Structure 1
Amino acid sequence: MSQTRVDWIRGITVRQPWATCLLTGEKTIENRPSPGWPLGLYLLHAGLAVEGAALRLPLVATTIRGRQLERGAVIGVARLADVHAGDGRCTPWAEPGRFHLVFADVQELALPIPAGALGPWKPSEDLVDQVRLQLPDLHAPEGTS
């Protein structure tokens, strides 16, 4: 198995239930304390932690209803389209005083792929190959390798 990292796609780890909310496409904003996130494709990785209080929020509950909350796995791919400082008014998911990572073009994996990571990270070629088995049209943007 190759441990070579690829440069055209990154990973982001998100706690549950927020990861599943992003996966549905209803939540387009991920709130983060810093703006240092390059635009482009990201593997959506559901972390091991679950924020229990978030499960009781009506917006979250209706968004994840009937869905499995996978943990410790890559569950999809999305494009980070924008990062901006937020006042909390751009969507119901936005928190004031945080940087808003705006995701688009979410693609859900039929089978979650177990993986472990924290923060922004670069996936191995093997992990990207596993994702490509489920999303065969996933490829590096023109001009990258």
Structure 2
Amino acid sequence: MKAITIKQPWATLIALGEKKFETRSWQTKYRGQIAIHAGKSVDKEACEDKEIKQALAKHGITSYKQLPSGAVLATANMIECHAITKDWCEFGVAETDKGVKIEGDEYWFGYYEEGRYAWELDNVQVLPEPVPAKGKLSLWEWDNENL
């Protein structure tokens, strides 16, 4: 299965269903099932951001120390890769080449500068327990035989 390594707290936000778009500087033609891997590093400053802190707290996470790292947390279906064509940062709204508007917490959970890409995910399935795995750059193959 393809996998993507994502820094915390964003990997957990995806696993919890709070984040449906993963933003990247590069596009992909890949569509299909993808494993969500939490990298080893945690952006502690981002964990103090009001919107992120509230979203995590809804699920009982009150400290960055509770975020798993170095493990696959969930699987999802990668359904589309959108190019960001407009970023109205002052309003917290971005628009894609396919006419999708991204706003609210979703906007604040990503980096939607024009020229970047929003990978749209759905059907997120949290694993019963995080599965330790070493992450990699770009898309990589995860051996999920233990599922």
Within 5 Å, which residues of 2 pair with 1:41-80? Answer: 41-65=33-57, 66-67=60-61, 68-80=66-78
Quote how far apart the aligned CAs of 1:58 are.
1.4
Instruction: Give the equivalent residue in structure 1 for 2:136.
Output: 118
* C-alpha separation in 2, matches of 1:59 and 1:115: 28
Q: Deviations over 1:31-64 (max 9, x none)?
A: 1000025111111100001112211111111111
Provide runs of 4+ in structure 1 moved above 3 Å. Answer: none
Q: Does the alignment pair 1:96 with 2:113?
A: yes
Q: Deviations over 1:9-39 (max 9, x none)?
A: 2001000000001111111111100002511
* C-alpha separation in 2, matches of 1:51 and 1:116: 18
Instruction: Give the equivalent residue in structure 1 for 2:99.
Output: none
- Give the gaps of 5 or more residues in structure 2: 88-93, 95-101
Letter of the structure 2 residue corresponding to residue 20 of structure 1: T
Cα RMSD for the two superposed structures: 1.4
Aligned residues: 120
Q: TM-score, normalization: structure 2?
A: 0.76
Of all paired residues, the percent bearing the same amino acid is: 29
Q: TM-score, normalization: structure 1?
A: 0.77
Larger proportion of strand? 2
* C-alpha separation in 2, matches of 1:107 and 1:37: 22
* C-alpha separation in 1, matches of 2:49 and 2:29: 27
* C-alpha separation in 2, matches of 1:30 and 1:105: 14
* C-alpha separation in 2, matches of 1:57 and 1:14: 18
* C-alpha separation in 2, matches of 1:37 and 1:113: 26
